């Protein structure tokens, strides 16, 4: 993040790297399977959480597919009042990827009760409120801009308080419910 003079105030380096695009898992095997594997340079992940201080408020950056990492998004929500998701989407132009990423981001807004600004260079950019509603958005592959306000919230949802246990509780509850329904039908 830069200040009004163009000086760097804070820097976030992506921590959750995308396999096969930003690093090559099982490189030796991958290079046998595909000659393209040799051309993938392994990125170095960032080492810790960084938020940007904007007007005295903490705003967490998320880069592209980091939005699918439960722990990283939960940490960002717990340590900031709003989230900004930045993505390129150029590789996936004219596919469902940009809409899919927007849908995932909308779920994250509800899950953590955070307003989110999703910014894409060629995909869909959007303001999303904490109920998951898109309040304004761009279309894909259009050079334009949108502006709006992000409401800051420090509210912690049940999911935030339970942490990584929440998905396990949902799974367990679903299994118990399914078994209960099965017994009634039998």
Average pLDDT estimate for 161-167: 88
Asked whether residue 184 carries a pLDDT value surpassing 90, the answer given is no
The pTM (predicted TM-score) of the whole model is 0.85
Q: pLDDT, tens digit, for every residue of 68-121?
A: 999 999 999 999 999 999 998 877 888 899 999 999 999 999 999 999 999 999
Q: Is residue 104 within 8 Å of 70, Cβ to Cβ? A: no
Q: What DSSP line would sit under 1-35, residue for residue?
A: -B-TTS-B-------SPPBTTTB-TTHHHHHHH-G
Cβ pair 97, 144 in contact under 8 A: no
Cβ proximity of 52 and 42 under 8 Å: no
Residue 185 has pLDDT above 80, yes or no: no
Task: Write phi, then psi, for 176 (nearest 5 degrees).
Answer: -60, -45
The pLDDT of residue 153 is above 90: yes
């Amino acid at each position: 993040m830069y200040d009004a003079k163009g000086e760097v105030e804070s820097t976030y380096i992506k921590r959750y790297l995308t396999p096969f695009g930003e690093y090559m898992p099982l490189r030796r095997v991958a290079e046998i399977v595909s000659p393209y594997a040799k051309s993938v340079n392994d990125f170095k992940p960032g080492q810790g959480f960084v938020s940007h201080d904007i007007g005295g408020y903490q705003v967490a950056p998320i880069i592209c597919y980091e939005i699918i990492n439960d722990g990283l998004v939960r940490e960002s929500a717990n340590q900031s009042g709003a989230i900004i998701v930045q993505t390129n989407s150029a590789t996936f132009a004219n596919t469902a990827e940009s809409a899919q990423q927007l849908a995932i981001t909308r779920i994250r807004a509800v899950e953590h009760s955070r307003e989110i600004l999703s910014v894409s260079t060629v995909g869909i950019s959007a303001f999303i409120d904490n109920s998951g509603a898109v309040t304004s958005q761009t279309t894909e592959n259009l050079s334009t801009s949108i502006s709006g306000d992000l409401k800051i919230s420090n509210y912690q949802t049940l999911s935030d308080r339970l942490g990584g246990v929440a998905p396990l509780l949902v799974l367990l509850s679903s299994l118990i419910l399914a078994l209960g329904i099965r017994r009634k039908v039998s």
